[in-house]
Amino acid sequence: MLTPQFAIPLHHELIVDLFAGGGGASTGIELAVGRPPDVAVNHDPDAISLHTANHPQTRHFCSDVFEVDPLDVCQGQPVGLLWASPDCKHFSKAKGGKPVSKKIRSLAWVVVKWAKAVKPRMIFLENVEEFQTWGPIAPDGRPCPERKGKTFAQWKGQLEALGYRVEHRELRACDFGAPTIRKRLFLIARRDGLPIVWPEPTHAKVPTKGMKPWRTAAECIDWSIPCPSIFERSKPLADATCRRIAKGLMRYVVNAAQPFIVQYHSAKREGDHRTADLADPLPTQTTENRFALVTAFLAKHYTGVVGSDLADPMGTVTSVDHHSLVTANLVHLGHGEGKDGTKRFSHGIRDITDPLNTITASGAAAALVTSRLVKMRGDNVGGPVTEPLHTISAQGTHHAEVRAFLVKYYGNEADGVPLTEPMHTLPTRDRMGLVTVHGTEYAIVDIGLRMLAPHELFKAQGFPVGYIIDRGADGKPLTKTAQVRLCGNSVCPPIAAALVGANYSELEQMEIAA
């Protein structure tokens, strides 16, 4: 928990987090006001258990939001802030053209219920941008196109009739310090006569004075996790996945213009795999070659999206895990002659966290492995890892890491390995597998793929270091599927903190009351 002490509740107003989930909005609220919410409601036992583990000072209600009576919960104490993030999957474009649930699409009406019952001074709502198209359902179970947005207007009108001033905007988490490009609709309603304040972005892809650069997907990656070869799988990858990998490797590895450096062993501390940008000076070089060059990209596989650079934030984290990572390894190219005079080669592939093989006077003792992320759905081939991660979803198994193992290339030979041998993994034309790094050509000899781990996704979503993600309040472990689902359904804490911090002040309310 962010606030380690159990403080005496001296505050005048309650803070309530409906649809609390794993605690993204609550974490943002706590970052903004210095204390956790007083009340959290969610129907999912896993969500409530994880929320309790991280926010033990909060009163938790594991129940349908409509079954919780606001008057019973508040016991006459005023509500200063109500946050609501209703289930968005039956508004999201990721739903496609499938029939939708009227019940799930109607969850936002609980906000009006609380507004009528306890009149929160301020209301925040987060949802997908398509929430603005909320309208009646046609007989075929799909939204009626002729009445698009009608229900949203009615819902907003009821808040305005209760004395609230209502404004809404679409904001991206990467602009407020989260390494994901997740874009969501945010609505603010307040009835205390004070103006609604929209915080200014703090980060940008090309920052101006006073702003910071976007946080990147690269900083979220755990480079120590192995990446198994796609050619050694018990079940071959689908043809569409192989095509995406091949196209992505060509676009973001073979033809990539901006690689980045990973320092994998020098002065290594536990859990510390530091990186350095090529635009910065290289860290001190030692007598051992402890640097690997890595080129990475993110692949988002929604139709019409081709990915993002590793220097940019991650794509939106949704409830389905759609991101993959391609990382870097070293290929040993040490060679010499055996006692019988025959030439020998060693092409052992190793992780960048392992020590390098012995460096010989002939040099070229190690090659490099390039890295990218691939999203395992849709028609997209990815993007560089120098950009933010794309949307993380709750269903899991859709984000993967791809690693391309490279060896130095001389003509049609890769230190004794014919290009025709490894290149059966890609088109057989010689140059299709070539990567030029500072004038030296390398050939792709293997490709690895792994799914992103939950702790990488939570970091991309903007959760603070130390946030509990793998177990509930009872100490029982949560499955990886549950962890990814809770991450994808969560609000990005940095953007919640920015919105609440710009508008909510308990001191201000005490001054008004006085």
Which of the four pLDDT bands, split at 50, 70 and 90, describes residue 246? confident
Share of the chain above pLDDT 90, in %: 41
The residue written with tokens 């990814």 in the block is 484
Residue 311 backbone zone (phi > 0: left; psi -120 to 50: alpha; other: beta): alpha
pLDDT value at residue 378: 55
pLDDT value at residue 161: 98
Which of the four pLDDT bands, split at 50, 70 and 90, describes residue 188? very high
Which of the four pLDDT bands, split at 50, 70 and 90, describes residue 55? very high
Q: Dump pLDDT digits (tens) for 251-291.
A: 777 777 665 544 433 333 344 444 444 444 444 434 343 44
Average pLDDT over residues 464-472: 96
CATH number of 14-215+474-513: 3.40.50.150
CA–CA distance, 50 with 41 (Å, rounded to integer): 12
pTM of the model: 0.76
CA–CA distance, 89 with 317 (Å, rounded to integer): 13
Strand partners, 203: 212
More confident position, 180 or 35 = 35
Average pLDDT over residues 388-395: 67
| Mean pLDDT estimate for the chain | 74
Closest C-alpha to 369, from 402, 334, 400, 345: 402
299 C-beta neighbours (distance < 10 Å), count: 36
pLDDT value at residue 290: 44
Closest C-alpha to 497, from 166, 83, 216: 83
Average pLDDT over residues 13-24: 95
User: One-letter amino acid identity for 300?
Assistant: K
3-state SS class at 480: helix
User: Of the given ranges (322-336, 425-439, 490-504), which has the lowest mean pLDDT?
Assistant: 322-336
Is pLDDT at 298 greater than 50 in this prediction?
Answer: no
User: Of the given ranges (22-36, 184-198, 341-355, 398-412), which has the lowest mean pLDDT?
Assistant: 341-355
User: Of the given ranges (201-215, 255-269, 376-390), which has the lowest mean pLDDT?
Assistant: 255-269
Q: Dump pLDDT digits (tens) for 321-342.
A: 555 544 433 333 333 444 444 4
Is pLDDT at 222 greater than 80 in this prediction?
Answer: yes
Closest C-alpha to 217, from 356, 102, 317, 133: 317
Dihedral of alpha carbons 163, 167, 168, 171, sign: negative
Any idea where the domains of the chain sit in the sequence? 14-215+474-513, 223-452
Question: Which pair of structure tokens corresponds to residue 245?
Answer: 């990998």
Question: Which pair of structure tokens corresponds to residue 263?
Answer: 């320092």
CA–CA distance, 489 with 485 (Å, rounded to integer): 6
* Among 298-302, 350-354, 399-403, 423-427, the range of highest mean pLDDT: 399-403
Average pLDDT over residues 156-185: 95
pLDDT value at residue 384: 62
